[in-house]
Structure formats: structure tokens, C-alpha cells
Structure 1
């Protein structure tokens, strides 16, 4: 056997994502590079690690056992690195955070200074939809989660970060040529593009429509904030989107905010964690940093949002 740590890391990511393409994206590697590492690992075993049925990749029972062993090995390697840094007096370890998809425009700014202060900390940040974020929190797989809608079924503690403002948006041609009302009646006329079930943005939209007792024209359902933006830019419909995620497109004139009475509608970004969770030294230090620095970060990084 002559497998490498890199091969084990690649294979573990493939088992987690069930996809070579997605593993490549999350590891920031090319798909051919991931395929080569996987093939080199497979060549060392006579028993298949995975099978392709149709066009879908399935991990075999043997492959799942190898993945479990790989995870233990990689965790031990990380532990060695962290202990070495700790012995030198540095704060070291892993900080695990799960972030709803639109939160990728928020969370990095609340992490950057902390990670610069403590280079011995490894960040593991998963960006996904609200349902998966809360499941990772429920399973105690992460230290913190960033959400814009608080869960009702979990006992949590939280730090409020900042408001999340949502506006109705269309593309330049739509907003220029369509003569639409500027009250809630607009939602009964325009085709709307939704995020998928489990999205926090979608939940805020649906709560607003329910409160206003509106019947809306649902045009499309897409699985990412970026996909919704591109669909609106292409003229496929309108959507309600967080301002935090459309700054560049507004600046370029590709998207326009549609004036509607009662808008923006708002939620609030919260960093949450399970109640009574015992923090690692890294997680405790990060929470202390956030409490001390969040107002400065908001002013420096998000002043353009006009959060008052």
C-alpha cells in the first residue's frame, strides 16, 4: 500500500458529495485531477471503492469502510498539526461553521480578522441551504451556523449580527418597460422566480405572501442565489432577493430594484449554536472575538447597506 494523504482527502470528499464533480468544486481542484487521485487510490485495492450505475456514482460497502478509516487518519493528522502549534503557544484547532447560501456574502467578513490573528486555526465552512444547515447543527457536526431565519424546533443560543434586507428585483428592460403598480398588487402580475424548498429567502417570501393574502405567479424554482440572479438578468421573471447578494449586479446595471410599498422586507442574520454546547478553545475564542468586533466589522464592511 502506498496511498497518500491527498488521495484519502479526495476520496473522503467524493464519498461525502457522492460526486466527482462536486468533490472537485469543494476541493478547488479540476475534475480530471480528482479523477486521477481517485483512480490512483483505487489501483491499490482489488475490491471496488465505488460503482457507476447509469450516470450516478455509488460508494460500495468496502469503499464506505475505507472512507471511515480515511477520516480517522486525516483527523489524526490535523490533531498532530494542532498539538504542535498549541505546544508553541498558538491557538490552534478547527472552527466548523455551516452557512446558508446567501450567507456566503456575510460570514467571510466576520471571520477574516480572526483567522489572520490565529493562523493555526483551520476553517471548515459549508455553504448550503437552510434545511441542511440546521441538520448539521442538530447533529452537532458544527460549532456555529449562520441563518437569517431562526429555527423553531431547536434549542439554541445566538448572537445577532445585522439585518438582512430583501427587495423585489428585475432586470433593466423589465423595470424600464413594464408599467406596474408600486403596491402589493404587483405580485399578482409579475412572474416570480423562487429559491428551492428549504431556503431561508424562500421562507421569508412565503411568509410575506401569506400575511398579505396574495396569490402569486410562480414562474421558476432554482437551487441557488446565483442561479436566480442569472435568471432575472436573462429576463425570465422577477424575484425577491437579499440586497447583500446583488451589489455587483446593481452597480453594473444588470439588476434593478423595483419600488414596492412596504419594502424592503427584512429578516436578521444570526450566528447560532446548540444550547449548552461545550465550546472548544477555538470556538470560545471566536465567539469572544465576534462580540468585541462585530460593530466595527459591520461599519467597515457593510456601511453601504444602510442598515438603519
Structure 2
């Protein structure tokens, strides 16, 4: 198989976007092309490869085995080219370039404001971010598809470097009229009849909740799994049950008193936010500057926005002492 000499970067770019959306029409929309143009480029790529990369699945498409294999190589090729471009820009000493940042879903509630602040201070730098689950971000780090990832645990599965940037408290939330809303420091046992609404298996929030149950020797009367923080919040407000969620997912609900925080012994549960990059990756000046910005700015921003909601709760020591940075 000798398709490299006929391969074009444009074909790889189109292929990666089509693989992400699994839709020629949505890929065409993102790339500002027509669907026939996308289809033609992908057909030429498949002819060069000599194998089908997509297969029809009802009204959509899915990657074939060859497509799954090629997408990771394509991401790495495009990532290397992006790094080369950034390196050349760095030689000019210009504060410019592009940064790709991956966020776990919980971080999407506060990171856009920090990204906007950085963009205002550094208008020549283009910061792009994407949201995905932990496993998706780990794959993107390995594929060199993102420069940095924001997540709640340093990955052990890959050779990555993580640095703590802020405390990350998890709180027990309940409907605004919950009978225990004003109770102080009561035991988890008081919630033995409650339904606990949990994130899906494998999520960071689910893991923290299960650790909480184990530490309290507590078994909920009933649990219901839900696929997003938004669904859980709406269900709690509707009176379906209680939940353990990141405080940082609750800015609007706490401001409007749409739900309440329960003062259960052992909560808030303190975790840490990390900024992560591959150990072998050399961060370009713009990405290194953004990383330094996050380490300096994230903790003060989160403390200012959220910590006043915890004044009536007895907090445990945070594993990351934000005061130690200054």
C-alpha cells in the first residue's frame, strides 16, 4: 500500500472532521464546504488507502476498522504540523498561535470565563476548546490533538504531567424545600430513604459518590444513573432525589436558590483540578503561557465565585492549598 505520495493534508483535515461528527453534512458545515465536496475528497482518500473508511449506518455513517486506525494517525500528523507552525511563529517572537484545550464536562461551567479573560489579554492567541469524557481526553492527548487537558485526576494510564490549579469541592444537593435544608452537620444515615441520582458508570462524579458511600458505610435505598450534570440538576429540582455534584456546576442554581446544599458530615468532599499535558510534549510559548495563566488565575476565580456558598458548611482541608502559591 503506497498512498502517501497521493495523500493531501486537506483530505486528512476533512477526514478528521467527518470522523468526529460521523456526518458528511455536519463536516461540510464546519468546513464551509458542500456535502458533495466532502464526499468527493473522502472518496479520493479511500481510493488512495485502498480500503473503505466509512460505512453507512441508517441515515448516518460509522468508521470502519481502517477508519478507526487512520483517524489516530491523521490526528497525530495534523498535530505535528500544528506544532511545527507554532514553533516557527515562536521564532518570530510574536505572541500568536493556536492552543487546543480539552475539558471534562464539569469544567465547562467555569473554564469559558477564564478562556475569555486570557483571550482578552492575548488577542493574538487563538484558544480552542472541546468538551469530552476523561477517556476521550486521554486519547486526544496521546494523539497530539490537544495541547492541554483540564481534569480532576492526573492520569496514570498515559505518560502525562499534571499540576494542581484549584480546589474542587463536591457537595450534596437537594430540592429547595428539602426538610433537612437547615439542619446542621447531620449524618449520612438521615438520607437512608432518599433516591440518589448519580452520573453514569466511569464518570469522575460517580467515582466520588461511590467513595462517599463506602466511607460512610452507607447504601442508598435507590440509585438512578443519568448521563449529564444538567439532567441531574433538573431531576433534583423536580424532587426526584438528591445528588453529589461538583460545586462548580451550580452557579446559576445556587444564585437563584433553585436547590439547596445539605450539610452532611464529611461534606463538602474536596478534590483538585489539574492542568495536564503529555510529558514528552514540548509546549509552545503560547500554550506554556496559557498553562501558567491557569495556574495563577483559576483558584482565585473559583474562590471568588463559589466559596461564599460554603460559608455555612464545615469544610475539610483541601488537598491543594491555594494559599501556597502566592
User: Structure 2-normalised TM-score?
Assistant: 0.70
Q: 1:255 to 1:145 in 2, by over 3 A?
A: same
SS in structure 2 at match of 1:16: helix
Q: Contact between 1:164 and 1:268, CA under 8 Å: does it hold in 2?
A: yes
Written as runs of structure 1 = structure 2, the 5 A alignment for 1:145-294 is 145-173=149-177, 175-176=178-179, 182-294=186-298
Kept in 1, the 8 Å contact 2:251–2:306? The answer is no
Give the Å deviation of 1:170: 2.1
CA–CA separation in structure 1 for the residues paired with 2:156 and 2:72: 33
Q: Unaligned regions of 5+ residues in structure 1, if any?
A: none
The question of whether the paired residues in 1 share the 8 Å contact of 2:115 and 2:127 is answered with no
Q: How does 1:78-93 map to 2 (within 5 A)?
A: 89-93=93-97
Cross-structure match for 2:38: 41
Residue 204 of structure 1: how far off its partner (Å): 0.9
Aligned counterparts of 1:261 and 1:92: Cα–Cα separation in 2: 49
Aligned length in residues? 296
Match of 1:103 in 2: 107
Contact 2:147–2:287 under 8 Å retained in 1: yes
Q: Which residue of structure 2 aligns with residue 130 of structure 1?
A: 134
Structure-1 residue corresponding to 2:324: none
Scaled by the length of structure 1, the TM-score of the pair is 0.74
User: What's the CA shift string for 1:218-274, capped at 9, x where partnerless?
Assistant: 432122211221222233322111111112122323222223222211211111223
- The Cα RMSD (Å) is 4.3
Deviations 1:166-190 (CA, angstroms, capped at 9, x unpaired): 12212235x1499999311144321
Distance in 2, Cα, partners of 1:150 & 1:142:
16
Label 1:72 to 1:129 Cα distance change in 2 as closer, same or farther (>3 A). closer
Q: SS where residue 126 of structure 1 aligns? A: strand
Q: Show structure 2 runs of 5+ residues with no match.
A: 1-8, 47-52, 316-326
CA distance in 2, matches of 1:296, 1:169: 24
